Structure 1
């Protein structure tokens, strides 16, 4: 870094940047949870795809209401319940994950409430997508026009917050069949099925350009410092207990039994 570049960064809060490619989403979520709870630094995690398809649900999500459990069990699709809120998504190698973990005091003007954090993140990503598509923040989703390509989840502690986004750079149409149409959906969805509701980012921009633009946008708010995984996953965080977990086969089977019993009663 040149002296001029260093001078420009004076006064900006430090943000550690961790870049992955193909790290399992369960491993990434465990890391995020540790960094939110056990670190006092700002972090950005960029994971370019996950190694295998998996379903990720919010902390209050119920498999019986959100998943087509029969096909999920039949095809051995892992189901993860994460420690943050938000909706349900199926992720794979076509998903790009971007997570921001920030101290309240390092993001001026942002209150530690979901709407305030979303408003700030919407402005950040408007820099990323400037001149590309009809980018908007709509009801907590990132969209081009009325088609969703980015879903968000958040968690807020006393002095810190996390904003996690799953970006659909690409997706397999058949995988969307594992997800039910949620009872609580944004109004702009208008009861459209998954394939009518979402779009692929690859139709708008190259994958590498998207990631480069994220880093450039972050540099207008933070002094960004790349860091490797070994430095992140240090011994001071060893033994941390995670709330993010993989649902067992027994739990999914019990949820399926509940669905079948409910259908029998209604029938």
Structure 2
């Protein structure tokens, strides 16, 4: 497992990096990145139905559509994104407990997390991570968010779209959310939390090659 931390906060760059790693002919990667404020919409969703686009334009928040399904998410510098990219196996990625490594990581900080019905991550009933996946003929991607110190007021504002614009597109499922910085063991700067995560996974995957950037 090669662990990569993106040096960029540009959401377009980081989404492209995910896709570039997915298009590698082989190899297992765990990518971490932190985006500047942005809204990332699932591939099967209608942007106007999910996002307050007027607010985003007024506040210069880019709205991008990713290759995977799932719901719309808000990113900012208080949110850590992770992506597991590997060769496709006979077992579906969603049937292989893909959240277990993240659950184990949070447990190392004394935080008990569990997977929800939609492969979201819950702590004390609050959503702290949403996930999505994408599979090609040979490769697979499972990625998600970790709300650490995200601006939840802006999150709730930007994720209010016009439902009349949805048509037959897939709707996001709202959930109560909480930042992981709520818990004393993670009451730190988000960049420091990222360093702790990389350190944890470098040990978790004992033969991991940890790369500071890509």
Shorter-chain-normalised TM-score: which range?
A: 0.7 to 0.9
Look at both structures and tell me which one has the larger radius of gyration over its CA atoms. 1
Looking at structure 2, the residues matched to 218 and 85 of structure 1 have their Cα atoms a distance apart, in angstroms, of: 29
* 1:155-234 superposed matches below 5 A: 155-176=134-155, 177-180=157-160, 183-185=171-173, 189=175, 197-204=176-183, 205=186, 206=188, 207=190, 208-209=192-193, 211-213=195-197, 215-217=199-201, 219-221=203-205, 223-227=207-211, 229=213
Matches within 5 A, 1:26-175: 26-47=12-33, 49-50=34-35, 52-104=36-88, 111-113=91-93, 115-117=94-96, 119=97, 121-130=98-107, 132-139=110-117, 140-175=119-154
* Structure 2 runs not aligned, ≥5 long: 164-170
Question: Which residue pairs with 1:20 in the alignment?
Answer: 6
Gaps of 5+ in 1: 1-14, 190-196, 233-267
Calculate the TM-score normalised by the size of structure 2: 0.80
| Coordinate RMSD, CA, aligned | 2.5
SS at match of 1:148: strand
CA distance in 2 between counterparts of 1:36 and 1:170 reads 28
Output the CA distance in 1 between the equivalents of 2:20 and 2:197. Answer: 27
Deviation >4 Å, runs of 4+: 181-184
Q: 1:28 to 1:58 in 2, by over 3 A?
A: same
Q: Distance in 2 between matches of 1:143 and 1:214?
A: 21
Distance in 1, Cα, partners of 2:102 & 2:57? 36
